[in-house]
Amino acid sequence: MSGKVAAVGSLFIRENAASVAFIKIKYGQPNERLITVPFQELLERQEELKSIALAISEDSEQKVRKYLFNFKRAPKINAAKKEFLSREQIINFMSRAPEALSELIEQDPKCKKPENRQLAMEIWKSWTPIRQLLSNVRGWNIKEADSKRDLGWGALPKKENGVDHVE
């Protein structure tokens, strides 16, 4: 034998939002997910991934080497370090934002400063997906009226003859 690994299939690499899956493909057989690794662990486990790929074929190992080389230089490495706000941080931010905005509005009531205009635009840009995530049936499906009713803030719409009317 020449020391070469006999090919027992091929390797498919599939990226998800925060991880990458390594899948063994062999003609006539179901695909086999070998391992799924979060982006932040990918570089730490590169030797393990190379040896898993080598068990399939030398071509698969080269494919993993090339993927890891490109991963190190891609923006994904920064995405792997992404940290998300906790529930408490989101609540704290959302409750403090109106006060901060009020202060900025008091200092620039007609929004003449370009940085304040940019801030307003960015808030609307961010608010649109937030609102959709909260109120859409594909999200949490919690409406503003639900919050007003359950938390007791604002005025609830009046119902007349089974129809909502907002004042």
**Contact yes or no for 34/24 (Cβ under 8 A):** yes
pTM over 0.85: no
pLDDT, one tens digit per residue, over 92-143 is 999 999 999 999 999 999 999 999 999 999 899 888 888 888 988 888 999 9
Question: Hey, how many other C-beta atoms are within 10 angstroms of the C-beta on 49?
Answer: 23
What lies within 8 Å, CB to CB, of 84 at 6+ separation is none
Cβ-in-10-Å burial (0-12, 13-18, 19+) of 5 comes to: middle
pLDDT, one tens digit per residue, over 18-61 is 888 999 998 888 988 899 988 888 888 889 988 888 888 888 88
Domain ranges of the chain: 10-80, 87-156
Query: Residue 90 pLDDT > 70, yes or no?
Result: yes
Q: Which two tokens stand for residue 138?
A: 């594909």
